[in-house]
Structure 1
Amino acid sequence: MRKLFLVFTLQLCLFSFSQNKQLLYGFSEIPQSLMQNPGGKIKNDWYVGIPLLSHFHVNVGISGSTVYDVFADNDVDFNVKLRNAVNSMEPTDFYGFNQQLEIFSGGFAFGSSFNKNKYISFGMYQELDFLLFFPKDFAVLALEGNQSNINRFFDASDLSLFADVVSVLHIGYNKKVDDKFTFGVRGKIYSSIANVSSTKNKGSFVTVPGENNVYNHIFDLDLALQTSGIASLIDDENSDVSNDVDVLKKRVLFGGNLGLGVDFGFTYQLTDQWSFDASLLDVGFISHTKDVENYAINGQYTYNGVNPLFSPADDGQTADDYWSEIEEDFEDIFTVDTTATKYTKWRPVKFNASLNYAFGKKQSQYCNCAVDDSDYLNAVGLQLYGISRPKRPQMALTAYYYRHVFNGLRLKAAYTIDSYSFNNLGLGMSAHIWGANFYVMADNLLQYKNVYDAQSVSLQLGFNYIFNKK
Structure 2
Amino acid sequence: MRKTSLLFSLITCLSFSQNKQILYGFSEIPQSLLQNPGGLVKNDWYFGLPLLSHIHASGGSSGISIYDLFAKDEQDFNIKLQKAVNKLKPNDFFTLNQQLEIFSGGFAIGPSYNKNKYLSFGLYQETDFIAYFPKDVAILALEGNANNINKPFQLNHINFSGEVLSVFHLGYNKKVNRNFTYGVRGKIYSSIVNVNSTKNRGSFITTNGENNFYSHIFNLDFELRTSGLNSITEDNSEFSAKDVIKRTLLGGNLGLGFDVGFTYNLTKQWTVDASLLDVGFVRHNKDIKNYEIDDVYNFEGINPLFPETSNGQTAEDYWNEVGEAFKDLFEADSTTTKYTTWRPIKLNASLNYAFGKKKYKDCKCLKEDSGYQNAVGMQLYTINRPKQPQVALTAYYYRRLFNGLSAKATYTIDSYSFNNVGLGVSAYLGPLNFYVMADNFLQYKNIYNTQSVSLQLGFNYIFNKNEN
Structure 1 and Structure 2 fold alike (TM over 0.5): yes
Question: Residue 407 of structure 1 aligns with which residue?
Answer: 403
Preserved CA contact (<8 Å) 2:382 2:391: yes
Contact 2:43 2:466 in 1 (8 A): yes
1:320 to partner: Cα distance: 10
Pairing 1:59-98 to 2, within 5 Å after superposition: 59-98=58-97
Which residue is 2:263 aligned to? 267
Q: Aligned to 2:346, which of 346, 350, 360?
A: 350
Query: What does 1:208-357 align with in structure 2 at a 5 Å threshold?
Result: 208-237=207-236, 239=238, 243-305=239-301, 327-357=323-353
Q: CA deviation at 1:324?
A: 6.0
One-letter amino acid of the counterpart of residue 54, structure 1: S
Partner residue in 2 for 1:53: 52
Matched-pair contact (CA < 8 Å) for 1:171–1:186: yes
Aligned to 2:312: none
Alpha-carbon spacing, 1:368–1:306, altered in 2? closer, same or farther (3 Å): farther
1:4 aligns with 2:4: yes
Paired with 2:125 and 2:299, the residues of 1 have a C-alpha distance of 46
* One-letter identity of the residue aligned with 1:369: C
Question: How many aligned residue pairs are there?
Answer: 457
CA apart distance, 1:65: 1.7
Distance in 2 separating the partners of 1:421 and 1:173: 36
Q: CA deviation at 1:94?
A: 1.1
Structure 1 residue 363: Cα displacement: 0.8
Give the Cα–Cα distance (whole angstroms) in 1 for the partners of residues 102 and 440 of structure 2: 27
Q: TM-score, length-normalised on structure 1?
A: 0.94
CA contact (8 A) 2:16 2:57 kept: no
Contact kept? 2:16, 2:98, Cα under 8 Å: no
Equivalent-residue separation in structure 2 for 1:40 and 1:320 (angstroms): 68
One-letter identity of the residue aligned with 1:465: Y
Partner of 2:439: 443
Which amino acid is 2:112 matched to? S
- The one-letter amino acid of 2:450's match is A
Q: Which moved more, 1:196-205 or 1:31-40?
A: 196-205
Distance in 1 between residues matched to 2:401 and 2:422, nearest whole Å: 18
User: Structure 2: where are the runs of 5+ without partners?
Assistant: 307-314
Aligned to 2:382: 386
Deviation (angstroms), 1:39: 0.1
With over 3 angstroms needed to count, the CA separation of the structure-2 counterparts of 1:306 and 1:83, relative to structure 1, is farther
Instruction: State the alpha-carbon separation in 1 of the partners of residues 27 and 360 from structure 2.
Output: 24
Aligned to 2:466: 469
Amino acid at match of 1:64: G
Secondary structure at the residue paired with 1:185?
Answer: strand
Provide the C-alpha distance between the structure 2 equivalents of 1:432 and 1:92, rounded to a whole number of angstroms: 43
C-alpha contact 1:18 1:394 (8 A) present in aligned 2: no
Please tell me whether the aligned partners of residues 18 and 387 of structure 1 are also in contact (alpha carbons under 8 angstroms). no
How far apart in 1 are the matches of 2:316 and 2:72?
32
2: distance between equivalents of 1:323 and 1:366? 92
CA distance in 2, matches of 1:238, 1:187: 35
What CA distance in whole angstroms lies between the structure 2 residues aligned with 1:323 and 1:105? 59
Shift of 1:192: 0.3
Is 56-65 or 322-331 further displaced after alignment? 322-331
What do the CA deviations read for 1:350-404 (whole angstroms, capped 9, x no partner)? Answer: 0000000000000111211211111100000000000000010000000000000
Cα distance in 1 for residues equivalent to 2:359 and 2:45: 28
In 2, the alpha carbon distance for the partners of 1:52 and 1:44 equals 21
Q: CA shift at 1:294, angstroms?
A: 0.4
Partner of 1:191: 190
Q: Separation in 2 of the partners of 1:439 and 1:177? A: 29
What is the identity, as a one-letter code, of the residue corresponding to 2:214? Y
Q: Distance in 2 between matches of 1:285 and 1:110?
A: 31
- Structure 1 residues not aligned, in runs of 5+: 312-318
**Could you say what secondary structure the match of 2:212 adopts?**
coil
CA contact (8 A) 1:15 1:94 kept: no
Residue 142 of structure 1 corresponds to which residue in structure 2? 141
2:310 — aligned with what? Answer: none
Match of 1:179 in 2: 178
Aligned AA (2:285): T
Q: Which amino acid aligns with 1:3?
A: K
Give deviations 1:162-210, integer Å, cap 9, x for gaps. Answer: 1100000000000000111100000000000011011111111111112
Residue 31, structure 1, aligned to residue 30, structure 2 = yes
Q: CA–CA distance in 2 between the matches of 1:414 and 1:294?
A: 43
Alpha-carbon distance in structure 2 between the residues aligned to 1:119 and 1:392: 36
The letter of the residue matching 2:9 is T
Structure 2 contact 350–379 (Cα < 8 Å) conserved: yes
- Kindly state the Cα deviation for residue 321 of structure 1 after the two structures are TM-superposed: 9.5
- When structure 1 is superposed on structure 2, of 451-460 and 278-287 the one drifting more is 451-460
In structure 2, what is the Cα distance between the partners aligned to 1:212 and 1:182? Answer: 74
Structure-2 separation of matches of 1:28 and 1:323? 66
Deviation at 1:236, TM superposition (A): 4.1
* Partners of 2:131 and 2:226 in 1: CA distance: 15
RMSD of aligned residue pairs (Cα, Å): 1.8
Alpha-carbon spacing, 1:18–1:306, altered in 2? closer, same or farther (3 Å): farther
Question: What displacement does 1:330 show?
Answer: 2.0
Matches for 1:146-165 after TM superposition, within 5 Å: 146-165=145-164
Q: TM-score, normalised by structure 2?
A: 0.95
Deviation of 1:448 (Å): 1.7
SS in 2 for 1:363: coil
Report the residue type matching 2:147 in the other structure: S
Cα contact 2:377–2:396 (8 A) shared by 1? yes
Q: State how far apart, in whole Å, the 2-side matches of 1:320 and 1:75 are.
A: 43
Percent identical:
63
**Which residue of the partner structure matches residue 315 of structure 1?**
none
Kept in 1: contact 2:163–2:194 (CA 8 A) = yes
- Secondary structure of 1:115's partner? coil
Instruction: Call closer, same or farther: CA 1:51–1:130 in 2, change over 3 Å.
Output: same
> Deviation string for 1:201-229 (max 9, x for gaps)?
11111111122222111111110000000
Q: Partner of 1:314 in structure 2?
A: none
